[in-house]
Structures are given as structure tokens and as C-alpha cells.
Amino acid sequence: MNELLKQDISKAFEQSFNLAAGNELIIQKTRKEFIGDYTINVFPWVKQIRKSPEEIAQTIGNYLLNNCHYISEFQVIKGFLNLSIRTQTLLEQAFKEPTISQSKQQQIVIEFSSPNTNKPLHLGHIRNNLLGNSISLILSNFHNVIKVNLINDRGIHICKSMLAWQKWGNGQTPENTHIKGDKLVGDYYVLFDKEYKKQIEQLISNGYSKEEAEKKAPLMLEAQEMLRKWEQGDEKVHNLWKTMNQWVYNGFETTYQKLGITFDKIYYESETYELGKQYVLKGLSEGIFFQKSDGSVWVDLTQDGLDEKLLLRADGTSVYITQDIGTAVLRYNEFKPNRMIYVVGNEQNYHFQVLKLVLNKLGFSWANTIYHLSYGMVELPEGKMKSREGTVVDADDLIAELEHEAKQIALKSGKLKDADEITFQKGIEKIAAAALKYFILKVDPEKNMTFNPQESIDFDGNTGTFILYTYARIQSILNKASEQNIVVQKPDAIDINDKERELLLLLIDFPYVVAEAASLFNPAKIANYVYCLSKEFNQYYQSYPILKEENANIRNFRLILSQKIAKTIKRCCNLLGIETIDKM
């Protein structure tokens, strides 16, 4: 519809004013207080044409009315040209299958999640996972998408939890404690920190400076020793490392399943950091990087407006970026993607600038295909989540809490009471997941968002529940229709009311919304759209009978419209990684 209008309006400008409308031509929806469906604004051309806005709009309007069969009337208000589309055309457009994309255009690798194996997943990870997953789903309409995860499974922080377990673990395992693996390991990480702090305080009271104490604390020295042993391939350390990491992976898997997240390929930092090191050393020998007197390797980015950046520590151990270099190369060689997307928080904006530059300097022309999909932090009302202060919102706890709340509401309202135990539980889980996913995804990714644990996530208003409810309502109507042996079929020529018109226009919008979401990497566009569609339908439902409409032709139309809306809601939900349910 949009394209068609654009073409014809461009033609109108050419024929009437011998002028290319160009990029200035923007079609928007007519505001509700005016008559019309689509609006263009002729102000941009007033200077060139040297006529009044009203005159220009009038001319274009006349041209369209005379030359385009689908325009039924137009109105000019100031510089705005409001066009009305023939109902028949709207019906055709709204009910045809949306052609989102014909062929897979590009190969895209998208990395998201990227957890550390020393801590359980929290709300920040949830945002990352949901964004990555939804964007993959959206892009899959246009491209061949490969979802990858990079697990940060090595380094000093991992050794800390290993060391603590070794010292104080008493042979605890997820099996014998019934504690989820990632939680158990996380507990030991916290324990390390606690004991480490005690040692620091002890040393300070013995006259050490804070800095000295932090370096000299025996626990820290032991952890560092463990890391060295790990890097040398010490068998005992490696066995412990493998065991504990496996606990964590099992734990993560449970959470991923709850969120409906899967990956096509998992990379481990322990398998890529050596490769990264090789490239850093290669760059050093080629004079791309330089070495400081202590032996550390750096890259000078002052020419590019940045600082010098450390690539390899003095003791030869690698830093974050070292392994990112290795992983990028590995990934490129494996998939030869046209584009590599990294879904990583905006705290790492600088890091990715550096990564791109470093890869460029190493001569990888594909470095420019890297796109850092940067998203804002999830904050609490009192500020950042801090694990030390215990304010981190744990992913599993949050999901459990939401399920509990959904259950209470369902029991109280008597919903789902006919369902058997399993269907009921499944329904609750899906409702809770939808509420969480929608809550996170409706916010523009680049913005920081606030999460209030007390108020938690709403089940009323602009929420995932509302969307699911609308869908279930329509399913209920359609089920009743089929019970009454009413066949949903195309109606004959029909007059439609304003609400129906609004709904048709929204349906026509769907493919454009998906395209916009894809080009902006922004699932919030889909979320806003589906909310708008659901709200519009609920209002419609309230004011007009659908199944109970007596005129069979109108009833037919209303049923087929409802069916189409349900289908579109479901599509949107699926793009957000949300599963719909037929009853609630």
C-alpha cells in the first residue's frame, strides 16, 4: 500500500510540477480527528514550486483522485493532504498474505548472552538474551541468521570460585545439595569475596596500605597461582574446572529453556584466547602493535581519536579483547558472514570501537561488518544492580515469582479452572514468560530501563498478558463459531465502520513494521505495534457484536477480520519470542 501510494504521488509531482518528490516524500497515517487514511505534507516543496501549500495539495489531490482508482476522496487542510482509500482496496490489502521477504539475502552471525561461568544469570542477562533472540527471529525473515553464544569460561574470576569450593566446599555438588549448578558455583564466588575481604582487613590492621593488602592477600595469590596452573594445563586444576563449569552449563540450560533461547553454536573463551594471543603477537612482530618496557603489548589508537589500549598483559596473560580477536577470526572463517552482530551492553561501546580498529589494523577487511548492538542497562530504582550489596535480580527467582503471581491471579479470577493440571501449569508459565518478555522488549534497546522489584511486572495495561488475553479472546470467538458450524468465509461487498477501518489500516502496516524493526534492530517496534493492534481490537470487541451479529454477511466479515487480527498478533508474538495460548 505504502509503496503504491509513494509511486503514484511521485508521479503526481512529476506530472503536475515537473519535479521529483524524492526522499522528502513521507506517508503517514491521518490523525484520528481528520477525515482520511493517509496523509502527506507538501511543505517541503513549497519553495521549489512557489505556490501556496494549499494549492499544491489541491493539485496533487486532484491528480490522485483522477488517476488512481483506489483513492475515494481527499481533503486539504493547510499543507496537509489527507487521502481516503476505497474500502474495497483496504480490504484487499489487509487480507492478502504479507510478503515480508522472498529470499534470504545475507548471512548474519549474531552473538548474544555471553555469560561468565562464575555467576548465575540476572535481569541484565535476561535483557541481553531476549533482545538477541527476538532480533534473530526478526532478521530471519530477511536473512540467514546464525545464533552464537560465547562463554567466558576462563580467567581469574573463574579460579576464585574454584578455589573457594576447593577450600570450603566439603564435596558439595548440585546433586547432593539440590542447588542449581550455576547458583552453587556463584555462592562460592561470593564466599571467596567475603573471605578475601576479611584477609584484606586483617592486613590493613597490620599496617599494610589498602592497595598492598589487596595484592598480598593469600587468597588472591592462591587464585593467581591457580590461573597459572590452569594455563599450563595442570590436570587437577583442569578437572575441577571442567566439573564446575559443567554444573554451571546445566544450570544455564534450565534458564535458557525457561526463556525459550537456543543457539546454533557455542564458543568458549578457553578455546579462542590462544588464537587471539597469536594474532596479537603477529601484529607485534609486524610493527602494528608495540611493547612497553614491562613486556606488555599495546596498540596505539591516538590517530583514531582514542587512547592506547592494552592487548596482552606483562605476564603474557590475555585480556578480554585478546580473546575477542581470536573469536572474531574463528567465527569469520567458519561462517564467512556478511555481517557480525554483537549484542552487548552499552558499557562496552568503547571496547567494540577498539576491537573494530584493531581487526582493521590486522588487515581484516571484514572488520567493518562488525556491528555492536548496544543496549542500555537495567537499573533498579535506587541505581545499578550490585552483587556485593545483594541487589541483583536473579533470573530464575524473577521467573518463579512471576509464575507465582500469574497463578494467584488465575486462581482468584477462576480462569483456566476447567483446564487439567498440566495445561494449567503450562498456561501459567507461558503467561509469566510473556509478561517478562514483553516488559523487557517494549523498551527501545538503546535506552536504560528501570525495573522496580517491589512493583514487579504488571499483568494489566500495556503488558504481554494483555496481548495474550486479546489473542485468547479471539480464539474463543472462533471456537464458538466453529461449534455453531459457522464457516468463516469471505463476505460480499460490505460497508465498514470507523473501528474496522482502523483495524484494516493497522493490518496493512504489519509488513512495514517488521521491516522497520529489522533495519533498526529494534523489537520494541513490534511490541508497540502489537499493543496498538490489541488495544484497537479490544475496543472494537466492546462496541460491536462479532459472533452475535445478526446480519450473516457482516458477521462473516467480523469473524474473518478477527481471525486475521489473531494471526497477526500471533506472528508479532512469535517475533518477540512469545508463545500465544488459546485460553486464559
Which residues ranging from 30 to 49 are in contact with RNA (CB under 7 A)?
A: 30-31, 33-34, 36, 39, 41, 43-44, 46-47
Asked if 544 and 536 touch (Cβ cutoff 8 Å), the reply is: no
The residues near 414 (Cβ < 8 Å, ≥ 6 apart) are none
To the nearest whole angstrom, how small is the minimum distance from the Cβ of residue 211 to RNA? 15
Stretch binding RNA (CB under 7 A), from 208-216, 218-226, 287-295, 375-383: 375-383
Asked if 45 and 13 touch (Cβ cutoff 8 Å), the reply is: yes
- What mask of x and - would describe binding to RNA in positions 62 to 81, judged by CB under 7 A? ---------------xxxx-
Quick check: 462 binds RNA (CB under 7 A)? yes
Out of 145, 213, 217, 410, name the contact with RNA by CB under 7 A. Answer: 410
DSSP 104-116: ---EEEEE----B
Residue spans of beta strands (DSSP E) within 269-399 = 290-291, 297-300, 308-312, 339-345, 370-375, 378-379
By C-beta, is 66 or 542 nearer to RNA? 542
Out of 152, 458, 515, 563, name the contact with RNA by CB under 7 A. Answer: 458
To the nearest whole angstrom, how small is the minimum distance from the Cβ of residue 251 to RNA? 25
Out of 274, 315, 545, 552, name the contact with RNA by CB under 7 A. Answer: 545
Per DSSP bridges, beta strands 308-312 and 339-345 are unpaired
Which spans in 1-140 are helix H? 2-17, 46-49, 53-67, 87-95, 123-139
Quick check: 448 binds RNA (CB under 7 A)? yes
Stretch binding RNA (CB under 7 A), from 167-175, 212-220, 258-266, 378-386: 378-386
Quick check: 553 binds RNA (CB under 7 A)? no
By C-beta, is 250 or 349 nearer to RNA? 349
Which residues from 116-175 bind RNA, rule CB under 7 A? none
Out of 102, 454, 542, 550, name the contact with RNA by CB under 7 A. Answer: 542
- What mask of x and - would describe binding to RNA in positions 424 to 443, judged by CB under 7 A? -------x----------xx
- Identify the helix (H) or strand (E) that includes residue 322: helix 320-335
- What mask of x and - would describe binding to RNA in positions 380 to 399, judged by CB under 7 A? -x-xx---------------
Out of 204, 377, 488, 560, name the contact with RNA by CB under 7 A. Answer: 377
Q: Which of 83, 63, 86 is nearest to 15 (CA)?
A: 63
The residues near 354 (Cβ < 8 Å, ≥ 6 apart) are 299, 301, 306, 309, 321
Stretch binding RNA (CB under 7 A), from 194-202, 208-216, 289-297, 450-458: 450-458
Quick check: 528 binds RNA (CB under 7 A)? yes
- Matching residue, cell 594455563: 231
Stretch binding RNA (CB under 7 A), from 100-108, 198-206, 325-333, 532-540: 532-540
Which residues from 289-308 bind RNA, rule CB under 7 A? 307
To the nearest whole angstrom, how small is the minimum distance from the Cβ of residue 565 to RNA? 13
DSSP 24-36: G---EEPPTTSS-
Strand order in the sheet with 339-345: 265-268, 144-151, 107-111, 339-345, 370-375
Quick check: 584 binds RNA (CB under 7 A)? yes
To the nearest whole angstrom, how small is the minimum distance from the Cβ of residue 126 to RNA? 14
By C-beta, is 183 or 309 nearer to RNA? 309
Site size with RNA, rule: CB under 7 A: 82
To the nearest whole angstrom, how small is the minimum distance from the Cβ of residue 148 to RNA? 23
Out of 231, 271, 446, 579, name the contact with RNA by CB under 7 A. Answer: 446
Q: Which of 24, 41, 31 is nearest to 81 (CA)?
A: 41
Phi, psi at residue 392, to the nearest 5°?
A: -70, 135
By C-beta, is 249 or 511 nearer to RNA? 511
By C-beta, is 287 or 414 nearer to RNA? 414
Q: What is the Cα–Cα distance from 481 to 173, expressed in whole angstroms?
A: 55
Out of 480, 490, 519, 551, name the contact with RNA by CB under 7 A. Answer: 480
To the nearest whole angstrom, how small is the minimum distance from the Cβ of residue 401 to RNA? 14
Q: What is the Cα–Cα distance from 542 to 267, expressed in whole angstroms?
A: 52
Out of 466, 510, 521, 557, name the contact with RNA by CB under 7 A. Answer: 466
- How far is the CA of 112 from the CAs of 119, 183, 342, 375, in angstroms? 17, 21, 6, 12
Q: What is the Cα–Cα distance from 514 to 532, expressed in whole angstroms?
A: 14
By C-beta, is 238 or 313 nearer to RNA? 313
How many alpha carbons lie under 13 Å from residue 355 in its C-beta half-sphere?
25
Quick check: 323 binds RNA (CB under 7 A)? no
DSSP 342-363: EEEEGGGHHHHHHHHHHHHHTT
Asked if 378 and 449 touch (Cβ cutoff 8 Å), the reply is: yes
Quick check: 539 binds RNA (CB under 7 A)? yes
Out of 415, 430, 570, 571, name the contact with RNA by CB under 7 A. Answer: 415
- Identify the helix (H) or strand (E) that includes residue 450: strand 449-450
- What mask of x and - would describe binding to RNA in positions 337 to 366, judged by CB under 7 A? ---------xxxxxx---------------
Out of 21, 151, 328, 406, name the contact with RNA by CB under 7 A. Answer: 406
Q: What is the Cα–Cα distance from 388 to 458, expressed in whole angstroms?
A: 28
Out of 238, 361, 535, 564, name the contact with RNA by CB under 7 A. Answer: 535
Q: What is the Cα–Cα distance from 239 to 442, expressed in whole angstroms?
A: 43
Which residues from 506-525 bind RNA, rule CB under 7 A? 524-525
Asked if 436 and 457 touch (Cβ cutoff 8 Å), the reply is: yes
